[in-house]
Amino acid sequence: METTTPLIMETTSEKNTATFTHLSTLSQYIIPFGNYIFPILIWTSYKDKSEFVNHHGKQTLNFQLSILLYSLILALIAIPIFIAVIFQNLPMEAVFNNDDFYIRNINFQGNIGLLSIGATAVVLFGVMKFVEFFLVIYASIKASNGELYKYPLTIPFIK
């Protein structure tokens, strides 16, 4: 049985505000932390005026905070692994030869398992950011249609 989110009759202004709340997270590609700053500004301005905007603002912020937490976890996995592998291969020799650059004495054979875990974390981060982009667009469309939307795998930090 398929469950659908009920269609709620909201004003055009509320739909546009909720839509813009979701879309404002895309400012992260231009302005650092824009994905937190702009949704917070919009949500706090309208949360008491519209339950619809309040719902979408909470969902937007919870999703962005969840993405931040997941990113930190992946970074805590990948960064120490890559640093450990680099330090295990010291001293390495860097050679400049006729505008070419070579690094010698690196042995990754004993660290393939660790590097695989680190590379998997990096790939998961990339996939997560790719999926985030499309989920933001999808949530924006839902909001513009006057529907309530909940992002998947979101931790409810703000209730």
Strands 93-97 and 100-104: antiparallel
Q: Report the predicted TM-score, pTM, of the whole model to 2 decimal places.
A: 0.81
Rg (CA), the chain: 22
Helices (H) and strands (E) in the chain, counts: 4, 2
Instruction: Tell me the sheet residues that pair with 23.
Output: none
Instruction: Tell me the sheet residues that pair with 87.
Output: none
User: One digit per residue, pLDDT tens: the chain, 159 residues?
Assistant: 445 555 555 789 999 999 999 999 999 999 999 999 999 999 999 999 999 999 999 999 999 999 999 999 999 999 998 888 877 766 656 666 777 776 666 666 777 888 889 999 999 999 999 999 999 999 999 999 999 999 999 999 998
